Structure formats: C-alpha cells, structure tokens
Structure 1
C-alpha cells in the first residue's frame, strides 16, 4: 500500500552517500558543530575506535568495549555533536600505523584528558615516561604518581585509561612480571609488549 501511494524509494549509490557525508562533515566543521570526530582503524590488536575533539585525541577504544556504547558515553561526557569525520584523525591514524609497523616508539599527538581526573590523571601523565620496550610494576607507577600505597588505584587508572596504546598502560605489569589485566584483553597486551620487545 505504501509503495502504491509514494512509489519505491530511489536507490542511492555508495559514491553519492560518501559525497553527501563529506559535505555534512565539512558543513558541521565550518559551523563549529562538530565537537567529536571519530573513525575506526584495523590494527593487529583488533579494530580500534579513535575519537578526537578540537583539543586532541580524547578516546581510543577496543572492539570489546563496544564502540557504540563508547560513542554514547562520549555523547554524555563530552558532547552529543559526534560525527564520523576521519580527516581530523589522520595524524593519529598515521602514527598508530607507524607504531604497529615498528617505525614509531612514541606518539606526538595532542591529547584531550578530560575523561580522567585526580590520581587517575596523575597515573596517565606518568605512563608515557615508561620507555618503549620497558615496563614498570603497578607499585613503581604508584610511587611515580605520588602515592606509593595506591597500587590498586593504579590498576583502576590503567583499566579506565581512555587512551590505551597511545598512553601506554600496557607497559604496567605485576611485580612478578606477569601481565595483569588490560582493557584490550591479555592477548592484546601480549601483542603490544611483544611488538615493543622486537
């Protein structure tokens, strides 16, 4: 009945859809309506969601975190004006590709840490100081972050790190050298540490 009244909807080819999306992204950026841009990136540790504000990279998420749920949380915590706009993430995409190819040992990206506060932020600020190919124990990180007894809080800070891989919480291990937990899972942590040890 609906088709009889209105006719069938015209087919829109993928190229037209892509061009329309690019125009939407450009208009949103021009009108300053794009608060969070995102894209996905296939990597050796699975598909990562990358999200950035005007201030910098705000979120890196593993598929196991549920990318749709991560975007919904970003809408609540940062802004509902979120759009798939890969161009803003070109520098992060390039540097991550270089990292996974073994050609980059440190990231040089603006980071937006608005999703972390207090001691967790102190831990995140310390993590890039753990050199590529090295690890520190949770206790060592607690001391470096200014609270030597806060070993469990370091674990929580690492587990809630909004920027895994780029802010290297995978370099934090247990005092006995075993991996400990990781937001991307034990296999992802092993892959990252193996890559950096090569």
Structure 2
C-alpha cells in the first residue's frame, strides 16, 4: 500500500490577508509577485491593488499605501501584509527569518517590517529604532488609523512641496517607529527585486 504523501506544514496562518500593490502596465511584476506569494498563501487570502500612478512617483506610492490600509480597515482584517510587486523572498534566510516573524507576530506589535533598509534596532527584542522601504510590512488592525494618519500627512506634504523627498512615506513613518511597537525581521525575510523602478524612473538594485 502506498504511503500517503504528507503536505508541507502550513506557514503564515497568522496573516489574515495579503495585498500586493501593482501598476497596471507592470504585468511582469504581477507575474513575479504572484509566483512569490502563491506557494504560501491561498488565493482567497491575496488581493491585488491597482497602484495609483502620479507624475511624482513618491506621491503615487503614498496614495497607494493609504488606499490599501483603508481597504484593510473597511474589510475588518485582523492584520494585513502589504507587499509591493518587486518584493521577493530571500531563500537563504527563509526558515530563520520566518521563525522570527512568527515569534514577533505572536506578541504585541503595531507593525513588523519583513524587509528593511538602513535599519537600526534593539538587539534581542528586534524592536525597531529606524528603518526604511515599504516593500513588505505586516500591520495590526489596532494600528490602522495611526498609520493612516501618518500616511495622509506624508501625502499632504508631498503635494504641497516641490522638493519633499524627506516626506516620502518610508521617511515620514520613521517618527512612529521608535515610539510605537514596530519590529524588524533580522535577517530580512524579503527584499526588493532588481529592475526598472517607476518611482525612480531608472533601473535599481537596492541589494537589500
């Protein structure tokens, strides 16, 4: 009698929903991010958000993230994993980093960054001091409104200033990070895929 093949242990059960942000014309990234997410999340837990495009790429990015958190709040998800379409798993770190994410998500948290750049954190607790990149982060429902308030301030400043790079989303949210319950997964669980950036209007490789 053939032995029944055992299915791999399910991961990410603590994630209520995933939303990936994707510009309509970036069908290449649409395919890529689905290939990253499909092995770990059932289709009913994954939603595509059609990214908001602006001449100022940073403003479009901020507007998109606002809309995604508003979506999560309206849907009543207990948490949401927000990923941009250039996010990819770091295979060599996956098991260790996943275990760290699972441990952090089991505790009290506001936001957990799965990918980070220029990060500083407290050794041991992984409590965040400062970090940037909006490539992949998990937000607790209790924190939606706080994050939305910060994101809307970022948007308003970007709209009113001709040179407002310091108010870009992943710069402006730094004022929340040390104050509130932000954590960072170290080593990172995800990174940004090298390629053409519609925000930067050039090929980029952040090597995160």
Structure 1 length normalisation: TM-score?
Answer: 0.29
Bigger RCO of structures 1 and 2 (CA < 8 A, at least 6 apart) = 2
Report the TM-score when normalising by structure 2.
0.28
When Rg is computed on C-alpha atoms for both structures, the one with the higher figure is 1
Point out the structure with the larger helix share: 1
